[in-house]
């Protein structure tokens, strides 16, 4: 009886904690409210399953507890029970996966006309690159990384000469404009995560991952690394500043391009 009561208390306490506690999502600052809806659906399905399993365990402990003169019934297999459990599990998993797959399709389908930026992760800081007046990002390669060229831009690519570099500093973006985030790592696996944007994606060495979002609220939002990347992982943080278009343009005019900030870029520009 005490064990059964403890299990019932665990189930009820978990439900009350979820409903009454102050924890919840941070205020959303992008167009990805769909992700909140998907998480809520997942909470409902997993919460119902968890509560049902715990209460069933409590029932079994109470109903089939040892009593003098009672013998256990040996039933190693039950086809009917297996079919029921398999069907219920399949329906539950499908119900969790379907909303996520639908949102994922939107998450990686970039609308036409979206601007873009590149976020570069390295132990243990965030750096960024924006297209210049030419509107295109140049190519990059880890072989080009040096103290003068920390992001590894290709000095021979003319599209990269006017690219704006923000090394270990805040990234600014205009509010209300869709933007594609290109994600690249120069060393180990990192994860680009801005809680208010519901934006989260791994950075894999040798690959370029991406997603898109539209900032909907002016403010400064913290970038976290959500993938363990070494001893400095907790300190790998940055900021995205969302501001009106005019303020963004004024900030952009003050930034240096690859050709202006790097001897390699200056040399390629001279050629």
pLDDT grade, residue 264 (50/70/90)? low
Enclosing H/E stretch for 19: helix 2-20
**Which residues, including other chains, have CB under 8 Å from residue 50's CB and lie 6 or more apart?**
11, 14
Domain residue ranges in the chain: 2-64+78-107, 115-270
pLDDT number for residue 271: 52
pLDDT grade, residue 168 (50/70/90)? confident
Q: Under CATH, which number does the domain 115-270 receive?
A: 2.60.40.420
pLDDT number for residue 118: 94
User: What is the pLDDT of the chain when averaged over all its residues?
Assistant: 87
pLDDT tens, position by position, 55-114: 988 888 888 877 787 777 777 888 888 999 899 889 888 888 888 888 888 888 999 989
- The top-scoring range by mean pLDDT among 14-18, 103-107, 210-214, 253-257 is 210-214
pLDDT number for residue 270: 52
Residue 211: count other Cβ atoms within 10 Å of its Cβ.
21
pLDDT number for residue 214: 95
Residue 12: count other Cβ atoms within 10 Å of its Cβ.
13
Q: Give the span between the Cα atoms of 46 and 109, in whole angstroms.
A: 28
State mean pLDDT over 31-48: 87
| Among 186, 197, 188, 109, CA closest to 152 | 186
Tokens of 220: 């400064």
Q: Give the span between the Cα atoms of 202 and 213, in whole angstroms.
A: 16
User: Number of helices and strands (H, E) in the chain?
Assistant: 6, 10
pLDDT number for residue 80: 87
State mean pLDDT over 133-148: 87
Query: Facing residues of 212 across strands?
Result: 180
């Amino acid at each position: 009886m005490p064990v059964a009561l403890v299990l019932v208390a665990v189930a009820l306490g978990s439900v009350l904690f979820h409903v009454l506690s102050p924890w919840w999502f941070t205020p959303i600052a992008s167009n990805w409210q769909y992700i909140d809806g998907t998480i809520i659906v997942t909470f409902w399905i997993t919460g119902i399953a968890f509560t049902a399993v715990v209460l069933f365990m409590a029932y079994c402990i109470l109903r089939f507890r040892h009593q003098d003169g009672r013998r256990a019934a040996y039933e190693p297999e039950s086809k009917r029970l297996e079919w029921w459990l398999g069907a219920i599990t399949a329906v539950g998993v499908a119900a969790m996966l379907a909303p996520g797959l639908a949102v994922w399709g939107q998450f990686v389908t970039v609308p036409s006309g979206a601007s873009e930026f590149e976020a570069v992760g390295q132990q243990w800081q965030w750096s960024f690159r924006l297209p210049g007046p030419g509107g295109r990002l140049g190519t990059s390669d880890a072989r080009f990384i040096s103290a003068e060229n920390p992001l590894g831009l290709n000095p021979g690519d003319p599209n990269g000469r006017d690219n704006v570099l923000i090394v270990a500093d805040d990234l600014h973006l205009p509010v209300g404009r869709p933007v594609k985030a290109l994600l690249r790592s120069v060393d180990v696996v990192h994860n680009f995560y801005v809680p208010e944007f519901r934006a989260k994606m791994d950075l894999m060495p040798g690959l370029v991952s991406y997603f898109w979002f539209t900032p909907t609220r002016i403010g400064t939002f913290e970038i976290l690394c959500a993938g363990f990347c070494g001893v400095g992982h907790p300190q790998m943080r940055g900021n995205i500043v969302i501001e009106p278009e005019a303020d963004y343009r004024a900030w952009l005019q003050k930034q240096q391009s690859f050709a202006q900030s790097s001897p390699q870029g200056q040399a390629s520009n001279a050629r």
